[in-house]
Structure 1
Amino acid sequence: MRPILPTLLVCATLHALPAFATSYEFVPAPQTDLNRMYRIDKVTGEVISCQYGLQESGGGIGQTVCFGAGEGAGPQAPSEYGLVASRHAREAGVFRVNYRTGEMSICFVLVKKEQVVCTQQAKPGADGTEGSPIAGTATTRPGPGATPSQGGRP
């Protein structure tokens, strides 16, 4: 009977470990004049965003304005997700990456809808050529004029 007690203790300890693991990752938007922070659930890939907003009435110190998960930003298939900000000083969105599959999507805030949206996940082909999205009709490469100008570069 004595060997059972230590085994049960080890099993109970291992079962409690996931509760202490970090569940979220936080990344600021790369845009240098924007005070926006993105949050991702590292298991589900769900993305939200919050930023500072001025309080219109009563003076005060302002308020935290958050944007919930909209189209494409909700929970994905369970995996290991993260956020990566580009180095573009005028980019307000971030990349959602799936570290297990190599898939990526772009997430950004649609202020008019007050929500975070993400493109469909896609990854390049094994030969380095452009891949296709996992589902739907979106393409991995936007057409001309789909992104804002980056300081006159082509």
Structure 2
Amino acid sequence: MILRTALVSLCLGLAATTASAASFEFVPAPQADLNRMYRVDKVTGEVVSCQYGLQESGGGIGLTVCFGPGEGAGPQPPSEYGLVATRHTREAGVFRVNYRTGEMSICFVLVKKEQVVCTQQANPAADGAADGPPAAAQGRAGAGATPSQGGRP
């Protein structure tokens, strides 16, 4: 009986470890000529990215270049996160979404800093009515309300 209980506990422990190990989602950048893939931890919201890179010496097949989490891309409050790519073929970033709260942020790679960065999580008013310009446009009057459709927001 004790052996059976220990075996069941071990199996449940292994199942929990396997479930936690499979807590990632992967989405390619929508940019048509970019071979970049983003990964989000579905519980913590941490975002990283990898892409193919040419190998400078040795004439090998190349290497995987990865960018760790930078500003805003690190762990967030525990929730249920995912990634969503737009349909803009020149967009190099992806949206990190919180399926429980409806919050969104935009994540992209800063190549010079070699890291993924994300904007602050935002959520429109719950009733759908806005009392003014979107939060990102406040304080930028005359700076152009239309965001760039290029590789970075």
- TM-score normalised over the length of structure 2: 0.80
* Unmatched segments (≥5 aa) in structure 2: none
Determine if contact 1:130/1:140 at 8 Å carries over to the other structure. Answer: no
Shift in Å at residue 25 of structure 1? 0.7
Q: Does 2:33 correspond to 1:37?
A: no
Report the RMSD for the aligned CA atoms in angstroms: 2.6
Aligned partner of 1:71 in structure 2 is: 71
1:139 paired to 2:138: no
Task: Please state how far the C-alpha of 1:92 moved relative to its aligned partner.
Answer: 0.3
Give the letter aligned to residue 129 of structure 1.
A
SS in structure 2 at match of 1:20: helix
Aligned residue identity for 2:17: A
How many aligned residue pairs are there? 142
CA distance 1:57–1:13, shift in 2 (3 Å): closer
Distance apart, 1:148 and its partner CA: 2.4
The Cα offsets for residues 85-124 of structure 1, whole Å up to 9 and x where unpaired, read as 0111110000001111111100000111110000000111
C-alpha distance in structure 1 between counterparts of 2:82 and 2:45, whole Å = 7
* Counterpart AA for 1:65: V
The aligned residue for residue 97 of structure 1 is 97
CA distance in 1, matches of 2:122, 2:104: 5
Structure of greater relative contact order (alpha carbons < 8 Å, 6+ residues apart): 2
Provide the residue aligned with 2:18 in structure 1: 20
Question: Residue 15 of structure 2: SS of its match in structure 1?
Answer: helix
The Cα of 1:58 is off from its aligned counterpart by 1.4
Q: TM-score, normalised by structure 1?
A: 0.79
